[in-house]
Structure 1
Amino acid sequence: MAALSSGLLGALDPTSDRAVYRQIADQLREAIDKDRFGEGDKLPSEAELVEHYSVSRMTVRNSLSILQSEGLVLSEHGRGVFVRPRPPVRRLASDRFARRHRDQGKSAFTVEAEAAGSRPEVDRLEVKEERPPQDISARLGGPRRVLARRRRYLLDQRPVEFAVSYIPLDLARNTPIAEPNPGPGGIYARLEELGHRLDHFEEEIRSRMPTPSEVRTLQLATGVPVIHLVRTAYDTEGRAVEVCDTIMAADAYVLSYQLPAT
């Protein structure tokens, strides 16, 4: 009861029209947000919360269920409920594809991971020729075959992103882009070396709940949504030279952009 006796959690408001179990969830959430319970810390047990709030065990379980659905806590059978460790945050900056990074031989993921003080890794790499999905083909101008590059990104050994790049086959076949490691600066550097100087990117971003496959791939906790980002790269001739379809763990990212006011 030390955590409760020390004032980490308050009392219920009997005059509130908010359900009791939601009030308890609110107090626990606030304690987590303010780091009164840090990553990996064990929350007070069900019995302790029942005694502290003078409520039923089912009320407490409903409160904890809310926090689990929000991805804030993990329940370990026989051990208790713990604050879920948060993956390192990677900031998606508006200049992440600036040419200066490619000139330094670094991919956008590597640059931003280093800025966050994290160790980047790539696994589950697959490179193959295939027929693109209809929407991807439309974005690329209608090619029947593409080179698809699939990979999963990790920060400090935690999966945070899964991406598939689709490149028209006439651009990628028999080039370093078709190799598992395309070389310094990644596929964008190789495209520019092949004469397709990049002019601009278009991105579409939305958030949604993950599919079961995405939960497994990114090892997502219950209640954590994903960011679905589709980026199209255009060269100076106006040709779409790549579409990257990316699924990101929403709790691992901050989207940060600078927009001109004129």
Structure 2
Amino acid sequence: MAGDKLPSEAQLMKHYEVARMTARQAIQELRSEGRVVAEQGRGVFVSQPVQVRRLASERFARRHREAGLAAFGVEAEKTGFTPRVDQLEVSTASPPDEIRDRLRLGDGGDVVVRSRRYLADGQPVETAVSYVPASIAAGSPIVADDTGPGGIYARLEELGHELDHFTEEVSARMPTADERRRLQLTDGVPVMVVLRTAYDTTGRPVEVCDTLKAAPAYVLEYDIPAR
């Protein structure tokens, strides 16, 4: 069970009648899959993964923003974990070419960049970087550390950009060394990448968000009409 301590190498060798190297390799395999974690001086323990159910079909519903909830808060309320955000950085910069193209900024125009890490019950589960055209965000609460109730999307609508729809691209890969460190992942654990673009009712893209999710921590849930 989660939190239980694994038997020592010697105990595994005796119980399964295997060599020390076999027992050691078995533990390493479990570590690489993220199923167990080693604690210095204490031993190896069964991981306690947080399961965040990402309600993709409703997490951006206007009723949640009007209730003062951002998307991660919606998931916390539904799933029952305690949400927290740290490693927050806000800056204004020239965006990468891919982001510039998605925001249709042409050759000019800076963006407000909001980078942060999300934790569920104290465990890092996701990093996210939002890019909002500076022509929209400058001088607004979007450039503040705390954007206020409802998050970025509530502020965009207050600025006159009523949201119409979102597009998302989902892929998976292995993390870089820095990504593995920030999400506290063991070797061999993959991440999911969700690249989202938000559009207002005029069809203008008003935000791009690049999120990186620890794969074992998430279930992606979709409600797709059959019509």
What TM-score does the superposition give when structure 2 sets the normalisation length? 0.93
Q: Does structure 1 residue 159 correspond to structure 2 residue 124?
A: yes
Question: CA RMSD of the aligned region, Å?
Answer: 1.4
Q: Which position in structure 1 is the counterpart of 2:78?
A: 115
Relative to 1, partners in 2 of residues 1:77 and 1:122: Cα closer, same or farther, differing over 3 Å? Answer: closer
How is 1:163-178 mapped onto 2 (pairs within 5 angstroms)?
163-178=128-143
State the AA in 2 paired with 1:55. V
**Matched residue of 2:119: which SS?**
strand
Counterpart selection for 1:56 from 5, 14, 19: 19
State the AA in 2 paired with 1:82. F
**In 2, Cα distance between the equivalents of 1:145 and 1:62?**
50
Q: Deviations over 1:64-94 (max 9, x none)?
A: 22111111112345543321222x2111111
* Identity in percent: 58
Decide which moves more: 234-243 or 115-124. 115-124
Q: Does structure 1 residue 134 correspond to structure 2 residue 97?
A: yes
How is 1:23-38 mapped onto 2 (pairs within 5 angstroms)?
38=1
**In 2, Cα distance between the equivalents of 1:132 and 1:177?**
17
Q: Which position in structure 2 is the counterpart of 1:208?
A: 173
Contact map agreement 2:109 2:135 (CA 8 A) in 1: no
Q: Higher relative CO (CA 8 A, sep ≥ 6), structure 1 or 2?
A: 2
Relative to 1, partners in 2 of residues 1:67 and 1:233: Cα closer, same or farther, differing over 3 Å? Answer: same
Name stretches of at least 5 consecutive residues in structure 1 with no aligned partner.
Answer: 1-37
Aligned-pair CA distance for 1:221 = 2.5
Relative to 1, partners in 2 of residues 1:77 and 1:182: Cα closer, same or farther, differing over 3 Å? Answer: closer
Q: Does structure 1 residue 221 correspond to structure 2 residue 183?
A: no
Aligned-pair CA distance for 1:229 = 0.8
State the AA in 2 paired with 1:199. D
Q: Which position in structure 1 is the counterpart of 2:2?
A: 39
Counterpart selection for 1:70 from 33, 37, 42: 33
Corresponding pairs, count: 224
Aligned-pair CA distance for 1:141 = 0.4
**Matched residue of 1:164: which SS?**
strand
**In 2, Cα distance between the equivalents of 1:136 and 1:108?**
21
State the AA in 2 paired with 1:103. E
Aligned-pair CA distance for 1:201 = 0.3
Counterpart selection for 1:98 from 61, 78, 92: 61
**In 1, Cα distance between the equivalents of 2:43 and 2:87?**
33
If each structure's strand is expressed as a fraction of its own residues, which one has the higher value?
2
Q: Which position in structure 1 is the counterpart of 2:201?
A: 236
Q: Does structure 1 residue 196 correspond to structure 2 residue 161?
A: yes
How is 1:13-24 mapped onto 2 (pairs within 5 angstroms)?
none
State the AA in 1 paired with 2:52. R
Q: Which position in structure 2 is the counterpart of 1:247?
A: 212
Aligned-pair CA distance for 1:144 = 3.2
Decide which moves more: 250-259 or 52-61. 52-61
What TM-score does the superposition give when structure 1 sets the normalisation length? 0.81
State the AA in 2 paired with 1:69. S
